[in-house]
C-alpha cells in the first residue's frame, strides 16, 4: 500500500510539473544545473525521460536547452575518445610493431583530462585493467598515469594505486631496477598531494634504506617537464578561445565544439598513422573537451546570475 501511494504521489508530482508554463519550467530546470557536468546531465536526462513535453522543454528551453545540447555533444565526444583509447578487454597487445604501439600509459594519458567526468564503473574497470597487467615497466608507467588522478578514484582504488607505486619505487629487478624505480617515483610524485604524512615518511624511509636519491630526482624532473608541457598546451588553447571571442552565450561555443568534433574524426577515429600518434592527438583534444565542459557550465550559470539580478532590479523599481 505504501508503494502504491508513493507511486501515485510521484505521478501526481510529474503531472503537476508537466502542467507548468514554459518560463516556470525553465527556471526549475536551471536549478538542476550544478558545477558537476555528470550530475547535471543525469538530472536533465531523468527529467527528459518523464514525458514528451518535458523532453521538449529540456531540449529547447531558451537557456537550459543550449546547455543540454552542448553537454550532450561534448559527452559524446569524450565517450568516443575513451572507447577508442581504452580497450574493454584490458591492456593486452597483439604482436604488432612496437614502434607504432600505444602502450597503456599513453592510452591513459589520452583520456585522463576527462577521467573525472567518467562514470564510476569505467574508473573502476580502468584501475582493474592496470592491476591485471604483468609486473614490469609497462604496468609501472601506467600506474604513474593513474597516480596523478588519485582524487577521482574511490578509497579502495586509490590505495591499490599507491601500494603499487611503493612496490615499484622500492623494486630491485635485475637490469631494470633504476628504470622501474623511476617509474614508481613518478607515480609517487604525481600522487604526493593526495598522500598522508605517513605515506610521505615511507618514501623517505625507502630512500634512506637504498640511498637512491637520484631516482627520485629523475622522477621529479620528468614530472616537472610534463607539467610544463601541459601548461604550454593550456596557454595555447586559452589563446585560441580568446581569439574566437565566444562571448557570454553557451551557443557561441558551438563553432568550437564543431571544430573539436571534426578534429576527433580526422585525428582519432579516422587517423591513418600509428596508434601512438592517434593517442597523442587524443590527449590534447581531451584537454580541450574538459575545458569546454567547464566553460559551458560556467557560461550558463553566469548568464543565469545576470538574469536573476535583472529580474530583482526590475522588481525593485
DSSP-assigned letters across all residues of 165-217: HHHHHT---TTTHHHHHHHHHHHHHHHGGG--HHHHHHHHHHHHHH--HHHHH
Residue 23 lies in a domain: no
Residue 253 lies in a domain: yes
Domains contained in the chain, number: 1
Residue 27 lies in a domain: no
Measured distance CA(33)–CA(79) in Å, rounded: 21
Min mean pLDDT across 91-105, 111-125, 225-239 is at 91-105
224-239: average pLDDT: 86
SS3 content of the chain, % helix, strand, coil (to 5): 80, 0, 20
Residue 170 lies in a domain: yes
Measured distance CA(153)–CA(159) in Å, rounded: 9
Check residue 161 and give its pLDDT.
Answer: 93
Q: Do 59 and 68 contact (CB within 8 A), yes or no?
A: yes
In order of 34, 36, 77, the CA distances from 43 in angstroms are 10, 11, 20
Residue 67 lies in a domain: no
Containing domain of residue 142, as a range?
Answer: 96-315
Q: What contacts 78, CB < 8 A, 6 or more positions away?
A: 114, 117, 118, 286, 289, 293
- What does the block give as the cell for 123? 574508473
Across 145-159, 163-177, 213-227, which has the greatest mean pLDDT? 145-159
Across 62-66, 109-113, 202-206, 237-241, which has the greatest mean pLDDT? 109-113
- What does the block give as the cell for 20? 507548468
Residue 193 lies in a domain: yes
Residue 12 lies in a domain: no
Calculate the CA dihedral of residues 313, 250, 25, 316 and round it to 10 degrees. Answer: 0
Residue 115 lies in a domain: yes
Check residue 201 and give its pLDDT.
Answer: 85
Amino acid at each position: 500500500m505504501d508503494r502504491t501511494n508513493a507511486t501515485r504521489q510521484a505521478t501526481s508530482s510529474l503531472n503537476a510539473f508537466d502542467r507548468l508554463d514554459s518560463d516556470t519550467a525553465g527556471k526549475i530546470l536551471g536549478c538542476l544545473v550544478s558545477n558537476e557536468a555528470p550530475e547535471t546531465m543525469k538530472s536533465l536526462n531523468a527529467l527528459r525521460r518523464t514525458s514528451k513535453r518535458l523532453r521538449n522543454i529540456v531540449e529547447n528551453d531558451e537557456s537550459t536547452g543550449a546547455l543540454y545540447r552542448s553537454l550532450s555533444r561534448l559527452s559524446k565526444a569524450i565517450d568516443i575518445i575513451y572507447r577508442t583509447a581504452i580497450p574493454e578487454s584490458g591492456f593486452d597487445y597483439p604482436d604488432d610493431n612496437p614502434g607504432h604501439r600505444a602502450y597503456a600509459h599513453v592510452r591513459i594519458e589520452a583520456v585522463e583530462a576527462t577521467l573525472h567526468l567518467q562514470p564510476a564503473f569505467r574508473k573502476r574497470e580502468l584501475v582493474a585493467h592496470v592491476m591485471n597487467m604483468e609486473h614490469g615497466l609497462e604496468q609501472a608507467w601506467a600506474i604513474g598515469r593513474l597516480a596523478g588522478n588519485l582524487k577521482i578514484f574511490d578509497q579502495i582504488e586509490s590505495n591499490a594505486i599507491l601500494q603499487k607505486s611503493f612496490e615499484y619505487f622500492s623494486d630491485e629487478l635485475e637490469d631494470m631496477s633504476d628504470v622501474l624505480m623511476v617509474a614508481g617515483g613518478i607515480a609517487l610524485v604525481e600522487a604526493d598531494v593526495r598522500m598522508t604524512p605517513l605515506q610521505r615518511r615511507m618514501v623517505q624511509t625507502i630512500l634512506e634504506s637504498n640511498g637512491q636519491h637520484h631516482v627520485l630526482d629523475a622522477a621529479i624532473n620528468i614530472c616537472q617537464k610534463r607539467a610544463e608541457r601541459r601548461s604550454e598546451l593550456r596557454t595555447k588553447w586559452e589563446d585560441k578561445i580568446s581569439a574566437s571571442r565566444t562571448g557570454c552565450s553557451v551557443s557561441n561555443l558551438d563553432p568550437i565544439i564543431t571544430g573539436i568534433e571534426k578534429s576527433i574524426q580526422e585525428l582519432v577515429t579516422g587517423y591513418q598513422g600509428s596508434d601512438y600518434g592517434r593517442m597523442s592527438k587524443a590527449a590534447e583534444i581531451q584537454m580541450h573537451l574538459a575545458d569546454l565542459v567547464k566553460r559551458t557550465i560556467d557560461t550558463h550559470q553566469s548568464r543565469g546570475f545576470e538574469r536573476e539580478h535583472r529580474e530583482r532590479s526590475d522588481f525593485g523599481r
